[in-house]
């Protein structure tokens, strides 16, 4: 029985080695690494755009239910009357995006305008290559610098935002682009610092190594996820907040909010280019969630050892879907933050909290042998909760009675 589950768990790897073995006799020597890379990439290119399509439908239906209405529930299988509760909506959206007229403003910078969506999509797709999707299932295993690769490509996406905003020759696009870049740059610091905490404890920048460092089984059944530590818990929420801001997701979606700035830096894009922007934005969100899962939630590890029969890639996908649903829930709940509130939140709250988190993680690691578990937990939480309360007070104090300078 265990062999069956093992086979299901490793079937992508066995499939790939089988195909490569057969191709080795047929193809020349220099083509084999390319074929291996292509075989690794194909599942990513198949699964994640499909996940994106389903997410758009689930988001619309979920937001609808949160807002006391139904979401789309008519479009099912095209050319038939089968409704499928609206889950064919992404087909209709895809056909619409592909067949819309591609309008480029006359005074726009054509080359840069064309390259911006591509410059966004390529780094985002590249970030998927270092995420461990399951046991032995990392497309590109970089034992020295896996996490650094991810963050380097994440930083490159900001350039395409600028390209999109500037090449449109539109004041509002430019304004949206500047705000978006400022937001992304500011929130990169808490993002990287909260990830750095994990690197410090795990001792390696390799993502599969970080997952391995969470494989230790405690109390006989509990895998030691980083989430199950005080600094891990707080670090996870800090990471999620910074990831939401990096992905321009509510409550941090001011650069692309419809009621504020029409569409921000991609106002002047229509048709397929807009679809690429949309796709790249959601894929970036999935990649950030995937990284959060790898760093804090144990990657492809189950929480309890006795649940290990469920395949590892199932666990990864399940956690990814849970995080996506959490983001949809947050989108339906929270109002948007204004630009200055956004920046203040990053620099005055998230940054100090991540630094304190780093310090607490260091204390936790150094006191493994000397201090009993309960004391470590209580001490860790207290050291994190008190600054949280104090910093939070700084935000509430500003919400006082509003003074109207010219009305009195």
6/67 with CB nearer other proteins: 67
* CB-based contact 259:345 (threshold 8 Å): no
Torsion angle, alpha carbons of 181, 292, 347, 263, to 10: 30
Least distance CB 18 / other proteins (angstroms) = 30
191 close to 152: Cβ distance less than 8 angstroms: no
Choose the binding region for other proteins from 61-69, 84-92, 275-283, 290-298 (rule: CB under 8 A). Answer: 61-69
Q: How far is the CB of 347 from other proteins (least distance, A)?
A: 10
Choose, by CB under 8 A, the member of 17, 144, 318, 382 that binds other proteins: 144
From the list 41-49, 60-68, 285-293, 362-370, the region that binds other proteins by CB under 8 A is: 60-68
284-303 positions binding other proteins, by CB under 8 A:
none
Query: Could you say which of 16, 100, 169, 305 contacts other proteins (CB under 8 A)?
Result: 169
Q: In this chain, which of 48, 52, 53, 62 binds other proteins, going by CB under 8 A?
A: 62
Cβ 327 to other proteins, closest distance in Å? 12
Tell me the closest approach of the beta carbon of residue 26 to other proteins, in angstroms: 24
Q: What is the 3-state secondary structure (H, E, C) of the chain?
A: CHHHHHHHHHHHHHHHHHHHHHHHHHCCCCHHHHHHHHHHHHHHHHHHHHHHHHHHHHHHHHHHHHCCCCCCCCCCCCCCCCCHHHCCHHHHHHHHHHHCCCCCCCCCCHHHHHHHHHHHHHHHHHHHHHCCCCCCCCCCCCCCCHHHHHHHHHHHHHHHHHHHHHHCCCHHHHHHHHHHHHHHHHHHHHHHHHHHHHHHHHCCCCHHHHHHCCCCEECCCEECCHHHCHHHHHHHHHHHHHHHHHCCCCCCCHHHCHHHHCCHHHCCCCCHHHHHHHHHHHHHHHHHHHHHHHHHCCCCCCCEHHHCCCCHHHHHHHHHHHHHHHHHHHHHHCCCCCHHHHHHHHHHHHHHHHHHHHHHHHHHHHCCCCCCHHHHHHHHHHHHHHHHHHHHHHHHCCCCCCCCCCCC
Provide the minimum distance between the beta carbon of 203 and other proteins in the complex, in angstroms, as a whole number.
8
Nearer to other proteins, 138 or 275 (CB): 138
Applying the rule CB under 8 A, the residues between 190 and 209 that interact with other proteins are 203, 205
From the CB of 372, what's the least distance to other proteins, in Å? 29
Residue 92 or 189 with smaller CB distance to other proteins = 189
| 174 lies in the site for other proteins, by CB under 8 A | yes
**Interface with other proteins (CB under 8 A), residue from 5, 27, 333, 375:** 333
CB 252 within 8 A of CB 386: no
Q: Is the Cβ of residue 99 or residue 398 nearer to other proteins in the bound state?
A: 398
Q: How far is the CB of 312 from other proteins (least distance, A)?
A: 26
- Does residue 148 touch other proteins according to CB under 8 A? yes
Considering only the stretches 45-53, 158-166, 297-305, 315-323, report the one whose residues sit in contact with other proteins under the rule CB under 8 A: 158-166
| Least distance (Å) between residue 177 CB and other proteins | 9
Applying CB under 8 A, the span of 67-75, 221-229, 265-273, 355-363 interacting with other proteins comes to 67-75
When asked if residue 5 is in the footprint of other proteins (CB under 8 A), the reply is no
Instruction: List residues near other proteins by CB under 8 A.
Output: 62, 65-70, 109, 112, 142, 144-145, 148-149, 151-156, 158-159, 162-163, 166, 169, 171, 174, 178, 181, 185, 188, 203, 205, 329-330, 332-334, 349, 388-389, 391-393, 395-396
């Amino acid at each position: 029985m265990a062999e069956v589950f093992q086979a299901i768990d490793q079937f992508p790897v066995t499939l790939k080695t089988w195909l490569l073995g057969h191709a080795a006799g047929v193809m020349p020597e220099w083509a084999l690494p390319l074929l291996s890379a292509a075989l690794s990439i194909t599942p990513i290119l198949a699964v994640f755009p499909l996940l994106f399509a389903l997410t758009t439908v689930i988001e619309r239906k979920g937001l609808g239910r949160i807002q006391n209405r139904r979401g789309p529930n008519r479009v099912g299988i095209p050319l038939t009357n089968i409704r499928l509760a609206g889950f064919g909506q992404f087909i209709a959206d895809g056909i619409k995006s592909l067949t819309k007229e591609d309008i480029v403003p006359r005074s726009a910078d054509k080359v840069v305008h064309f390259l911006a969506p591509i410059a966004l999509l390529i780094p985002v797709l590249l970030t998927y290559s270092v995420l461990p999707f399951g046991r032995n299932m990392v497309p590109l295993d970089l034992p020295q610098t896996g996490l650094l690769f991810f963050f380097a490509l994440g930083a490159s996406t900001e350039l395409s935002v600028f390209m999109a905003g500037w090449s449109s020759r539109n004041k509002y696009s430019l304004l949206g682009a500047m705000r978006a870049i400022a937001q992304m740059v500011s929130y990169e610091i808490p993002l990287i610092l909260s990830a750095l905490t994990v690197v410090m404890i795990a001792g390696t920048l390799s993502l599969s190594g970080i997952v391995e460092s969470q494989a230790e089984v405690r109390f006989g059944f509990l895998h030691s996820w980083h989430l199950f530590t005080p600094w891990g818990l707080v670090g996870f929420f800090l990471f999620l907040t910074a990831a939401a801001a990096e992905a321009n997701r509510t409550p941090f979606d001011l650069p692309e909010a419809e009621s504020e700035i029409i569409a921000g830096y991609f106002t002047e894009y229509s048709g397929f280019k807009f679809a690429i922007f949309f796709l790249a934005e959601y894929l970036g969100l999935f990649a950030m969630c995937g990284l959060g899962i790898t760093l804090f939630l144990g990657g492809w590890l189950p929480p309890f050892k006795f649940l290990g029969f469920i395949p590892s890639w199932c666990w990864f996908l399940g956690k990814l879907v849970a995080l996506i649903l959490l983001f949809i829930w947050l989108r339906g709940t929270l109002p948007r933050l204004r630009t200055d509130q956004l920046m203040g939140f990053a620099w005055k709250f998230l940054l100090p909290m991540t630094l304190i988190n780093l310090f607490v993680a260091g204390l936790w690691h150094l006191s493994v042998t000397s201090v009993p578990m309960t004391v470590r937990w209580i001490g860790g939480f207290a050291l994190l909760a008190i600054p949280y309360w104090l910093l939070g007070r700084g935000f509430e104090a500003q919400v006082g009675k509003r003074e109207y300078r010219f009305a009195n």
